[in-house]
C-alpha cells in the first residue's frame, strides 16, 4: 500500500540513534523512543494512529527521570509527576483535559513537601498549605473558584500565629 509498516529506526547524520518506533499504515502506532545526542533516552511513549496515547516518560540528558504524564487521545489527562534535576519528585497531581484538577503537591529538592493545593477545572479551589524547607507551616488558606475565601493564617518559624486575614 506504499505506507510504512513495522519497526523504523532513525539516526542522526553522524550515525547516532535519534528515534525508533513502530508504524502501522504510515502512522506511528505503538512504542516510540527519542534520544539525546549522547544516545540517552529523551522520552518514550505510545502512539495510536499518530496520536500520543497513554504514559509519556521524559528524561534529562544525563538520564534522570524528568516527568511522567498520561495522555488520552493526545490530550494531557491523568496523573502526572515532575522531577527535580536530582531525581527527587518536584510535583505530582492530576490533570483533566489539560487543566489541573484535584490535589497538587509540590516538593522541595530534599523531598519535603513545599505546598499542597487543590484545583477544580484549572482554578484554585479548596485548601492550600505552604511549607518551609524545615517542614514548618508558612500559611494555610482556602480558595473558592480562584478567589481567597475564609480565614488565611500565616505562621512564624516557631509555629506561632503571625497574622490572620478573612476573605
Per-residue pLDDT at 2: 87
Q: What is the mean pLDDT of the chain?
A: 96
For residue 98, what pLDDT is reported? 87
pLDDT tens sequence across 29-46: 999 999 999 999 999 999
The residue among 80, 12, 1, 3 whose CA lies nearest residue 49 is 3
What is the model's pTM? Answer: 0.89
Cα separation, 18 vs 41, whole angstroms: 9
Quote the Cα angle for 62-64-66, to 5°: 115
Query: Along the chain (167 residues), what's the average pLDDT of each consecutive run of 10 residues?
Result: 93 96 96 97 97 97 96 95 96 94 98 98 97 97 98 97 97
What is the C-alpha to C-alpha distance for residues 126 and 131, in angstroms, rounded to an integer?
A: 17
39 within 8 A of 31, measured Cβ to Cβ: no
SS (H, E, C) 30-99: EEEEEECCCCCEEEEEEEECCEEEEEEEEECCCCCEEEEEEEECCEECEEEEEECCCCCEEEEEEEECCE
Contact 93, 102 (CB under 8 A): yes
| pLDDT at site 66 | 97
pLDDT the model gives residue 113: 98
Are residues 153 and 142 in contact, defined by beta-carbon separation less than 8 angstroms?
Answer: no
Amino acid at each position: 500500500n506504499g505506507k510504512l509498516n513495522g519497526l523504523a529506526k532513525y539516526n542522526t547524520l553522524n550515525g547516532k540513534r535519534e528515534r525508533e518506533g513502530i508504524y502501522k499504515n504510515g502512522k506511528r502506532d505503538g512504542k516510540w523512543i527519542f534520544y539525546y545526542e549522547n544516545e540517552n533516552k529523551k522520552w518514550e511513549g505510545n502512539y495510536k494512529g499518530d496520536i500520543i496515547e497513554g504514559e509519556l516518560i521524559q528524561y534529562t540528558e544525563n538520564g534522570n527521570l524528568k516527568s511522567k504524564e498520561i495522555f488520552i487521545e493526545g490530550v494531557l489527562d491523568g496523573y502526572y509527576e515532575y522531577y527535580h534535576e536530582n531525581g527527587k519528585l518536584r510535583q505530582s497531581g492530576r490533570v483533566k483535559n489539560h487543566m489541573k484538577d484535584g490535589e497538587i503537591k509540590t516538593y522541595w529538592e530534599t523531598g519535603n513537601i513545599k505546598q499542597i493545593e487543590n484545583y477544580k477545572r484549572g482554578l484554585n479551589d479548596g485548601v492550600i498549605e505552604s511549607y518551609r524547607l524545615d517542614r514548618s507551616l508558612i500559611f494555610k488558606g482556602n480558595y473558592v473558584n480562584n478567589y481567597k475565601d475564609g480565614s488565611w493564617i500565616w505562621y512564624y518559624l516557631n509555629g506561632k500565629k503571625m497574622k490572620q486575614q478573612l476573605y
